[in-house]
Amino acid sequence: MTDLIPFIVLVPLAAFVINLFFGSKMKGSTAGWIATIAVFISFFITAGIFFEMMGRPAEERPIHFVMLDWIHVGRVQVNLAYLIDQLSIIFMLVITGVGAFIHLYSIAYMKGDRGFWRFFVYLNLFIVMMLQLVMADNYLLTFLGWEGVGLCSYLLIGFWYDEDKNNNAAKKAFIVNRIGDFGFLVAMGAMLYQFGSLNYLDVLGSGNNMVDGVRHAGLALGMGSGATIITIITLMLFLGCTGKSAQIPLYVWLPDAMAGPTPVSALIHAATMVTSGIFLVARSNILFALAPTTLAVVAAVGAVTAIFAAMIGIFQNDIKKVLAYSTVSQLGYMFLALGVGSFTAGVFHVVTHAFFKACLFLGSGAVILAMHHEQDMQKMGGLKKYLPITFGTFFIATLAIAGIPPFAGFFSKDEILWQAFSHGSMVLWLIGAIAALMTAFYMFRAVFLTFYGKERFDTHHHTPHEVDWKMWLPLVVLAILSTAGGFLGMPSVFGAGNVFEQWLEPVVGKGTEIAMTAGVAESPALEWALMGVSVAIALFGILLAMRFYKSRTTLAKQEAQLGAAYQLMHNKFYVDEIYDKGIVQPLYSISKNFLWQIIDVRVIDGIVNGLAKIAEIGSGSIRRIQTGIAQNYAVLIVVGLFVVVGYLVMF
C-alpha cells in the first residue's frame, strides 16, 4: 500500500481538475459524484495504509515517502515528501472519512444551486490542501497546505458572493487568519536560524537532543541553551494556531463563517480545518515541551476561550451560530489539554469532536432545508415528528457533546478535565467544568427549541419533511461514530488499556513525559470521583435546559428579562464592535488620511509627477532646437564643427 500514498492526494486533485475545466458542462449531479467518489477512494487507500501500519511493530510504523527535491539553497533542503506516522494517519482518516460523507451529503444539499459544480471544485481543493497540511514531512509544506485551506475557506464562506454579508464574512476570515499566519512565518524563520532546517525529523530530532543536553547539565527545562529561541518559535506557532483554530483573540472569524453553505461549516469549521492548530502543536510536541511558558499560555488561552465562547453560545438563536460558538469552545478544550501536556487527550477530542460536531452541523442543515432556509430557532419547534431521523441523530450527537456516557464526547472531554486537574490546576479544571455545564445547557436549549414544544411556524405554507438518503445516511454514520468512537480512548481506570494513547505514544510520548513534570499522584478513586462530578454537571445542564425551554412557546422576552447579562452574552460581549472601534476604524482612518492622502498622493505621486514635470520642462526647452528649418540645422552643424576643431587645436 505504501506506493499508493501519493494517490491519497492525487485522486481528489484529479477530481478538482476535471470539475474545474469540465464541471460547468456536466449535467445533473455528475460533478458532485466525481468529487465524492474521489474522496471515498482516498479514504479507502488511507484505511488500507492504516491497517498495514497496525500490523507492524511500533518503531516500524512511520513511513517517509520522498517524491522529489523541492528547494535546495545552501545547507537548507526541503523535499516534496510525506511523513505518514501514527499522528498524521489519524488526521488523514478523519479528513477523508468524514469529508467523504460530507461530500455525499452536499450532493443533495446543493442540488439545483447554480454554482453546484463550482462548490465541489472548492471542496475537493480543500481536501487536497488539508491532506498536504497533515501529511507533510516539513513545516514549509505544511504551511503550503495551511495557506491552501485558508484560501478554500475564503472561497467557500463567500460561495454565495451575490450577498455582501457573505463577502464580508469571507474577507474577515481571510484577513484574521493572515495575522496568525504571520506568526507561523516568523516561527519558520527562527527554526532556520536555530536548527538550519524546516524538516520535522531534523527540527524535532534537535529538540530531543536539547532535552538530553539540558537534563545532562542538570538544568530545568526551559533554562538550557536555546530556551529563548524555542519559546519564541512555539509562541509564534501558537499565534498561527489561534488564527486557524479560532482561539482568543483571533476567534472572531469563525461565527461569521456560518454565512457559507452548511456542509462547509461541517467540513471546514467543525471537523478538519479548525483542528489544524491542534495538529501543529501535537506534531511539534517536543518543542512545546521545551517551552513551559508557552504551554502555560496555551492552557490559559484554551481555558478562557472554552468558557468565553460557551457563555456567548447560551443565548444565540441562529442554530448555526450556536454550533459555531460551540466549536470555538470545544477547540478551547483541546488547547487546554495540549497546554497541560496531554497531547493525546487533545488529539482524541479532535476525533470525537469531528464525529459529533459534523453530525450536528449536517443535522442543522437538514433542519434549515426543512424550514425553507430558516435558521432562527425561535421560529421552529415541534420538528421531532416531521424529521425523525434528523432528530434522532442530532439528539445522539448532542448527548455526545454534553459528555453523557457512553457517548464519544464523554470519554474525550472527561480525559481533558482529568488531565487539567491532575497536571494543570484546580482553576483550569473548574473553568473546564463550568464550560461543560454551559455546553450541556445551550446544546439542549437548541434541541428543545428546535424539536420540542409548540410549532412556531406556519404549516399551511410549508410542511417540514425528512431529507433524502444522501443526507440522512451521513447523519446515521456520524451518529454511530458519536456513540461508539469514544471506546477507542477508554481511561485506564476502566480496566482496559487506552488504545488511542498506546497508538500515539511513539509520536507524542516523550513530549508528554517532559511536559507533565508535575501533577497529583495517580488516584483511581479521585479519577472516578471527578468523572462522576463531570457527568453530574452535564445532567444538571440538561435538566436546567429542559426546565426552561422544553415547553416554552415565546422566549426572547423572558430571556431579555435577565437584563445586562443577557445583553452581553446575546451580543457576544460586543467584541466585534470593540475590534471595529479600536482596530478596524483607526487602521482605516490612518490608511485613508495618512497612507493614502499623504504618503501615496503627496509623497509617492508627488515624486512621480514631479519627475514627469521636470522631464516635461526639460524636453520643452530642448524641443525648441527642433525648428524644422534646414538653414538653422546647417548653422548648428558648422558651429559644432568649430567647437570640436577648436577643442582639438587647444588641447
Q: What single string gives the DSSP state of each residue in 167-218?
A: HHHHHHHHHHHHHHHHHHHHHHHHHHHHHS--BHHHHHHHHHHHHHHHHHTT
Block means of pLDDT (10 residues each) for the chain, length 651 residues? 91 97 92 97 96 90 90 86 95 96 95 92 96 95 95 93 91 93 95 91 82 55 68 96 93 92 86 90 94 94 96 92 94 95 94 95 93 88 92 96 94 93 90 96 94 79 82 95 91 80 91 74 82 94 89 63 81 90 91 91 91 87 76 84 88 71
Given this model, what pLDDT does residue 224 score?
53
Between CA 635 and CA 407 the distance in angstroms is 103
Asked whether 128 and 85 are in contact (CB, 8 A), the reply is no
Given this model, what pLDDT does residue 2 score?
82
For the chain, the residue count is 651
Residues 6 or more apart whose Cβ sits within 8 Å of residue 588: none
Given this model, what pLDDT does residue 99 score?
95
Between CA 282 and CA 508 the distance in angstroms is 7
3-state secondary structure of 272: coil
User: In whole angstroms, how far apart are CA 19 and each of 25, 77, 262, 604, 634?
Assistant: 9, 35, 21, 45, 72
DSSP state of 224: S
Asked whether 12 and 110 are in contact (CB, 8 A), the reply is no
Given this model, what pLDDT does residue 566 score?
82
Between CA 134 and CA 42 the distance in angstroms is 14
Asked whether 274 and 244 are in contact (CB, 8 A), the reply is yes
State the cell numbers at 391.
432528530
Between CA 41 and CA 46 the distance in angstroms is 9
- Angle, helix 276-283 to helix 343-370, in steps of 10 degrees: 170
Between CA 24 and CA 26 the distance in angstroms is 6
Between CA 46 and CA 635 the distance in angstroms is 88
State the cell numbers at 110.
446543493
Q: What are phi and psi of 460, to 5 degrees?
A: -70, -30
Q: For residue 78, list its beta bridge partners.
A: 71
Sequence letter at residue 263: P
Q: What are phi and psi of 66, to 5 degrees?
A: -100, 125
- Dihedral angle of Cα 471, 476, 479, 481, to the nearest 10 degrees: -110
Between CA 406 and CA 413 the distance in angstroms is 12
Asked whether 341 and 295 are in contact (CB, 8 A), the reply is yes
Q: Where are the domains of the chain?
A: 345-570, 579-650
Cβ count within 10 A of residue 433: 19
The answer, as to whether pTM is greater than 0.85, is: yes
Given this model, what pLDDT does residue 521 score?
55
Given this model, what pLDDT does residue 453 score?
84
Between CA 32 and CA 30 the distance in angstroms is 5
Between CA 603 and CA 288 the distance in angstroms is 46
Given this model, what pLDDT does residue 460 score?
57
